[in-house]
Structures are given as C-alpha cells and as structure tokens.
Structure 1
Amino acid sequence: MARVVQVIGLVVFLLGAGGLADHLGPRAWEGVFLLNRVPLLAGYEVFANASVAIAGAAVVVAVDRLRAAAREEEGAGARAAAKAGADAEAAGGGAGAGRRTNGSDGPDGPDGGAREMSPRARSAPNATVVGAPVGERLLMWGGLPLVGGVLGALLNPLAEWALTLPWAPFEGPIRLITSIPDLPATIGGAVVGVVAGLVLAMIGESEAGTVTVTDHEASVTANGRTRTAPRGQVRAVFKDGKRLVLLGARGEEVAGGVVALKPHRLAKAFRAHAYPWRDDGDPHAEDFRRWVPGLPELSVGAHALFAARAKALEKDQSSDAEDLREEINALGIVVRDMNKRQYFRRVADTGE
C-alpha cells in the first residue's frame, strides 16, 4: 500500500513538474498536462503546476520516511538478535571445546561431522525494539500534512474571519493575505500547509527515538545518535522526565537519551530481558544538587563544561547539550535537567 501511495505521489510530482516545464517551454505536451488546459487556472499555470509538484514531492518524502523508519526498526532488531545469537554461539562453542567424551563432544563428532549447535545458541533471545507505534507514525507522516493542507487551503477564509475580531493580532499581514486572489491563496496555502506538516512530522520522529533491548545489551537511539550498554554493566533503568537512563554499578550513566516513548512500553521491554527497571526513578535522586557557578567541589574544567551546557540548554541546542553531558559524565559526574536548570551528583569511588 505504501509503495502504491508513493507511486501516486511520484506521478503527481511528474505531472506538476512536466506541466511547469511545458508551460514555460514549447508547449509540445499541452494535451497531456491538464492543468495547462483548465480555464479557471488561466494566468496561474506556473503557480498551479509548481504547487502540484511540491505536493507530489511531499507525498513521496512522507511515504519514504515511513518506510525508512520501518526498515530501521526491523534492522535494529535483526542486528541485535544476530549479535545476541553470535555471542550465544561463541559461549556455547567455548563450553563445548572444554568437554570431550569419547570424541563426540569435540569440534567434530564421531563421523567427522560438524559439532552440534548448543541449545543456548539455537534459542538465542530475540531483540525487543521499542519505537513510535505505527499509528503514531501514520498520524505524523499522514495526518499532520493532511491537516496542514486543509488549514492552508482555508487560509483566505480564516484570514477574513480573523479581521472581524476586535483584537486580531498582526492585522497588516492578515490584510495582505486577504488581498491574494482566492485560487492562488487556496493552492499556495495548501502546499505551505503540507510542507509545514512534513516538517513537524520530521521533528516528531526525531524526538520519538528507538530503544533496542536484548539479553546481552541495550541500545538507545535518540536525535541521530546511539548509545549502547552491555547487560552486565546495567544496574538500574528508569525514565527521568523525557529521558531514558541506564545506570552502572557505581551509579554512572552507561547509556541514555531523550525518547518520547511511554514508560510502560519501555518497562515491558526491559523486564522481558530481565533488566532492573525501576518505576520509582533514579535510586540516587536524593544525591543531586543544583549547579551554580563557583561551587568549590567542582574543578575549573567542570564549571566550564556546565557553563557551556547552560548556554546550550538556554538556546535549545539539544545536540550540543548532549555532547557536553557526555564530557561531564567522563569526569565522574552525572547530570540531570529540570526546567533548563542543571543538577549534578558524583559517581561513587571516582574523582575528576
């Protein structure tokens, strides 16, 4: 179904782009590109064809992103399961190499055949991948552009209605919108609305994140970066606001990231693989204190990182803030954010 919709979007794009080229060129294909023959669009052919081309391209991009997200989720699960199977096979092979009974437990059986695969390898655990549900993705990549297109198409009537309000803000720009003829305002508004919906969908998908859990490791993918922690290092897993956090034996953060995923879905995934999920949050929550410049227990280097991170948080530069968090973590300090304020605690048995 997705491929069919994508093909339709491609056809719409080609009709718009071809109509635009034909209108500006020799008009050799005027009978094919119908928009150039509609009397109502006389004088607006360039605008109409360009709008149709943009709308078709938007559909192609939206469906492509949906399919890419599905492939990414399937690929993450397959990679994690393959790694888990390889680890289990290696462990089974090591155990089998140390046992030889009448030659049947060695690398080769009595007849020189291959050693039987260990039961552990045969039953390698499957990966559990938690990402944005299909319904949410359809809503983002289908619903948002659709709603944006409808609202954009109604731009002129909405602007005229806004002018009837006694407190209408931006009266000048609104009057400018109402001065645009109905047809180009409808087509252009719809295209702008579709593009705006796609932009919102891209933002929503990037913030959703993906979490992959196996019996051997857990990976958190958020804002284009992936952090992975082996199962043996994880002592606590919890959701701290919007952030998923995995802590190690000394209370250090071994993996984490901001993911817009429901806590109960994450809890189910981690518990299915025997990770220590905590509904009550950070076991070290009482140890955090607010960072302010000049605290004597922090070094000059740590203060510089905190100060730079405070500026990144203020400007909503999440990527820079995450990079600086990792640098602070390397100093043996765990950072927690609340309303753009930074709180910190030290990791046990370590110094800067």
Structure 2
Amino acid sequence: MNHGMEYSDLGLSASDRILIWAVPPLLGAVVGWFIPAIADWATGLAWVPFQGPLELIASIQGPWVVIVTAILGLLAGMVLSHIAIKESLAVRLSDQEIRLRMHDAEQTFTRDEVSAVFLDGKQLVLLWRDHDPFADHYVRWVADSPELTPSLNALFLAREKAMENEDKEDAADLRRELSKLGITVRDDGKRQYWRQHGQRPYRP
C-alpha cells in the first residue's frame, strides 16, 4: 500500500522500452539476413578469422537459409532486449521514501534513512544519515580552490550565490552541471564539499 503517496518513476520510459524491444531484434534480423552473403564473401579472405564456421555457413545452399539466419538474428536481438530491460534499475520516488527495483528484488528506504540521493557518473548514490561511505574523500570548497579549474570554481561560486539566495532550482541545476564535469557535491548547511567521481569509498 502506498497510503496515498504520489510517486515519480525514474528509469526507462515507455518510449525507451519500445526502442529497446524494437531496435535490437530488427538489427539482428537484418544482420541475420545478410549472414550467408557475408560468410560467402569472407571465406575468400584468408585474414578473416573463424574460417571454419564461415565456410560451413557458405556451403549451405537454398533460399531458406537467409530466412533461418534472419529468424536466428531476430531471436538473438530479442534476448538482448530482454537482458537490457531486466538489468535496468527502476526507481520510484515520493516525499516519504525511495524504492529501488532490479530483476525481482526491491528495496525501500524511508526519508529518515537517506540524507541525499544523486548521480555519481552513471552510478546512483544514496547517502545514509548515520554514515557517508565517501566522507573521507570530500574537500570543502573555498573560493579559487587550487585543486579545481577556473571554470569549476566559477560554477561553485555561482552555486554559493544561489544557495545564499535560497534559489534551490538553480543550485540543483549547478550541481548537475558539476556532476557532468566529474564532481560530486555534498552540502552541509550552506557550505559546499566536493570530490571527484570514481573515488573508492572508505570501508572500515
């Protein structure tokens, strides 16, 4: 039961799913259709590997061959689409909780358990209130920080002003811009702390 909570679903959209289900099978069928011709052509090139399987395919004659290989390519594409959908992470957000689902497993974290949710490169990171696994890697940002480029310092400065003006939308947008440039930002009040993407978390 969701107790009347409204959720925002993140992850693959309906159009994304249609593309995933349509494109790989279609490409697989097209490639499969041309496999006999490709095999026949490749057997004349000594430098092409897998000559044995290619010669076997090229030796099979008949108009039905391209139909069979096209069907096999279609099936291979469908398997790939199924794996892509199955391996995708589904995220449901509300003002009370976050739900993560992959395969048949689902985990729910309440608002009280999580202090922040953000992307670190392609990874979704949840920070717990009692412990931040990346805590030892964060550095407090100060104006003209020598570890950062002038453009990164400019983004931090703009974000500092947005936070002072309580412009949450602009601050969030600047956080995303910094993330695109490889920087993860954590706030402590109006103080900004940062680290580079890809750093390993501290494990006690």
TM-score w.r.t. the length of structure 2 is 0.64
Matched, 1:242 2:110: no
Please state how far the C-alpha of 1:214 moved relative to its aligned partner. Answer: 0.5
Q: CA deviation at 1:281?
A: 2.6
Q: 1:224 to 1:242 in 2, by over 3 A?
A: farther
Q: Does 1:226 align with 2:106?
A: yes
Matched, 1:195 2:98: no
Q: How much does 1:134 deviate?
A: 2.1
Tell me the equivalent position of 1:281.
184
Work out whether 1:150 is the aligned partner of 2:53: no
Structure 2 distance, partners of 1:231, 1:224, is 23
Give the 3 Å change call, closer, same or farther, for CA 186–132 of structure 1 in structure 2: same
Q: Work out whether 1:207 is the aligned partner of 2:87.
A: yes
- Aligned counterparts, 1:259-270, within 5 A: none
Deviations 1:255-283 (A, max 9, x none): xxxxxxxxxxxxxxxx99xx9x8744364
CA RMSD of aligned residues (A): 3.1
SS state at 1:251 partner: coil
Matched residue count: 155
How does 1:80-159 map onto structure 2 within 5 Å? Answer: 82-83=2-3, 85=4, 125-159=5-39
CA gap of 1:133–1:164, structure 2 versus 1, over 3 A, is: farther
Give the match for residue 345 of structure 1: 202
Q: What whole-Å deviation, never above 9, does each CA across 1:13-47 have from its counterpart, x for those lacking one?
A: xxxxxxxxxxxxxxxxxxxxxxxxxxxxxxxxxxx
> Judging changes above 3 Å, is the alpha-carbon distance between structure 1 residues 174 and 211 closer, same or farther for their aligned structure 2 residues?
same
| 1:288-327 correspondence runs (5 A) | none
Q: Is the 8 A contact 1:155 1:185 kept in 2?
A: no
Distance in 2, matches of 1:245 and 1:224, equals 21
Q: CA deviation at 1:210?
A: 0.7
Question: In 2 relative to 1, CA 133–165 (structure 1 residues): closer, same or farther, beyond 3 Å?
Answer: farther
Hey, what's the Cα distance between the residues in 1 that align with 2:13 and 2:42? 37
Cα displacement string for residues 124-174 of structure 1 (whole angstroms, at most 9, x for unaligned residues): x52101121222211221221122112112211111122243421111110
Q: Normalized against structure 1, the TM-score is what?
A: 0.39
Question: Which residue of structure 2 lines up, in the alignment, with residue 328 of structure 1?
Answer: none
SS of the aligned residue for 1:238 comes to strand
3-state secondary structure, aligned to 2:41 = helix
3-state DSSP class of the match of 1:126? coil
Aligned amino acid, residue 201 of structure 1: S
Give unmatched runs, 5+ long, in structure 1. 1-78, 86-124, 254-270, 287-335, 348-352
Structure that is richer in helix per residue = 1
Question: 1:156 touches 1:182 (CA, 8 Å); kept in 2?
Answer: no
Equivalent position SS for 1:232: coil
Q: 1:235–1:136: structure 2 CA closer, same or farther, 3 Å change rule?
A: same
In the alignment, does 2:56 pair up with 1:176?
Answer: yes
Q: What fraction of aligned residue pairs are identical, expressed as a percent?
A: 32
Structure 2: give runs of 5+ residues left out of the alignment: 134-167, 187-192
Whichever of the two has the greater Rg, that structure is 1
